[in-house]
Amino acid sequence: MTLNSTLNIDPLKGEKVKLKVAGEVRKQLEVGVNLSGQVDMNLRAQAQLAEAGLPFNVEINSKQLYWPFTGEKQFQADDLKLKLGGKMTDYTLSFATAVKGQGVPPAKITLDAKGNERQVNLDKLAIAALDGTTEFKALLDWQQAISWRGELALHGINTGKLAPEWPSKLEGLIKTNGSLYGGTWQMSVPEMKITGNVKQNKVLVDGSARGNSYLQWTIPGLHVALGNNNADIKGELGVKDLNLDANIDAPKLDNMLPGLGGTAKGLVKIRGTVDAPQVLADITARGLRWQELSIGQVRVEGDVKSTDQIAGNLDVRVERIVQPDVNIGLVHLAAKGNEKQHSLQLQVQGEPVSGQLALAGSFDREEERWKGALSNTRFQTPVGPWSINRDIALDYRNLEQKISIGPHCWVNPNAELCVPQTIDAGSGRACHRQSEPVSTWRCSSRLCRKQRRLAVCLAVTQMSPGTPLKRGCHRVK
């Protein structure tokens, strides 16, 4: 039986279709499809529907396929050949084509695979592009757990044509295996080695690692080098003990990536046990640059430990942050203490905003409740200085998802914005302020049961030229 047709729908209007069906359903059924016009393709299929294992054979050939079907071609595949045959319990697959397109480097792709009802074996997937070849081999098995084994090899990959401003040439081999079962997984990278250069800077990645879904990792060693810059990770996050070190020594980051610059040196250590982990950090970076952003210096020091209580200290100091319309001389964050008694201080110096705040409090782990106070808080803004007239009492109840904010006023030379009574806000009930004058403060939704309305008191002479506001107390429902 032969059927000829011409499509009359966009974007394949005028496409000619020829369908041919022959054979017998109980023996061998043959189907042929020929497309000509904007899409030229031949498909031939054979199947023995009545035989065990369902023997079949499918072939697809096309001199050229492209997208979109009309107008400028954004993607094109030439000399496409696909063969799939055998039985459902034992089949082979081969595929070959040459592709090119917008943002896609010209490449030749070949694939050979075989499989059955228990597994698929990817003998080879080869992509010849960028003056080199990328080869991938893999085995995927789902007979019991889902497990895999794979190998990725890079041979002479050169990105100079794809990214002239960041040319690189790479060789490498990465091996991996793992399994997934019952919501848990484990994986191993027994070998990973990549060599080459990026913009005349030598590249080396060398190491191995294994881990699982319980965040238990063993890293015998992982070394990454780019030019004179080095990073190393070594150690173990075990079932009980933690002993992992991460080092960075980057004396010259200039032009390692387009727009990158500066130096960095530091160490992060993870020690202790799973029940009582400890993290120590000591990192310094100078002259950092990324595109239009520059930072004079970053200093991070920390020692945090979790036992029956989380305790420690963290000091972060960032100096000379500059980018268009922003010039911040200093950002300094200092936190110390434990769950029962801790404090945090933040200081910002610069334009367009500068200021400081201090936060102190305590956390009750059994009640999941944090109580504290915000004090010594003031900010310099484009509309003048703002400060609080008293410490702001804060009370957060995690089980109820509610926070209480004590009475206070924000004071400006030309304005005074007050919350005269304690407000209690929960999830979806927080008050917020949009970017309008003070008189536009409102609640996103209703407040707590007792505090049905929020009283906002204004003592304002003038916020900005031409925007007079009246003194008084205004209730926002």
Q: Please give the DSSP secondary-structure letter assigned to residue 440.
A: G
Is residue 68 in some structural domain? Answer: yes
Contact predicate 257/166, CB 8 Å: yes
Helix and strand totals (H; E) in the chain: 0, 35
How many domains does the chain divide into?
1
Both structure tokens of 337: 């203490």
Is residue 25 in some structural domain? Answer: yes
Number of Cβ within 10 Å of residue 421's Cβ equals 13
Q: Please give the DSSP secondary-structure letter assigned to residue 321.
A: E
Helix, strand, coil distribution of the chain in percent, nearest 5:
0, 70, 30
Query: pLDDT per position in the chain (477 positions), as tens?
Result: 888 888 888 888 888 989 998 888 788 899 999 988 888 999 999 998 888 888 999 999 999 998 888 778 899 999 999 999 999 889 999 999 999 998 888 999 999 999 999 999 999 999 999 999 999 999 999 988 899 999 999 999 998 888 887 888 999 999 999 999 988 999 999 999 999 998 888 999 999 999 999 999 999 999 999 999 999 999 999 999 999 999 999 999 987 877 889 999 999 999 999 999 999 999 999 999 998 999 999 999 999 999 889 999 999 999 999 998 889 999 999 999 999 999 999 999 998 889 999 999 999 999 999 999 999 999 998 888 999 999 999 999 999 999 999 999 999 988 889 999 999 887 554 443 333 333 333 333 333 333 333 344 444 433 444 444 444 444 433
Residue whose token pair is 């806000």: 425
Is residue 22 in some structural domain? Answer: yes
Q: How far apart are CA 203 and CA 154, in angstroms?
A: 14
Is residue 430 in some structural domain? Answer: no
Contact predicate 344/362, CB 8 Å: no
Q: How far apart are CA 85 and CA 464, in angstroms?
A: 78
Tell me the β-bridge partners of 44: 32, 59
Both structure tokens of 308: 């029956």
Q: What pTM value is reported for the model? A: 0.76
Is residue 80 in some structural domain? Answer: yes
Is residue 51 in some structural domain? Answer: yes
Tell me the β-bridge partners of 384: 381
Contact predicate 460/470, CB 8 Å: yes
DSSP 309-334: SEEEEEEEEEEEEEETTEEEEEEEEE
Q: Please give the DSSP secondary-structure letter assigned to residue 130.
A: T
Is residue 37 in some structural domain? Answer: yes
Is residue 465 in some structural domain? Answer: no
Contact predicate 290/264, CB 8 Å: no
Q: Is 352 left (phi over 0), alpha (psi -120 to 50) or beta?
A: alpha
Domain coverage including residue 92? 1-117
Whether the link from the prior residue into 413 is cis, omega within 30° of 0, is no
Whether the link from the prior residue into 68 is cis, omega within 30° of 0, is yes
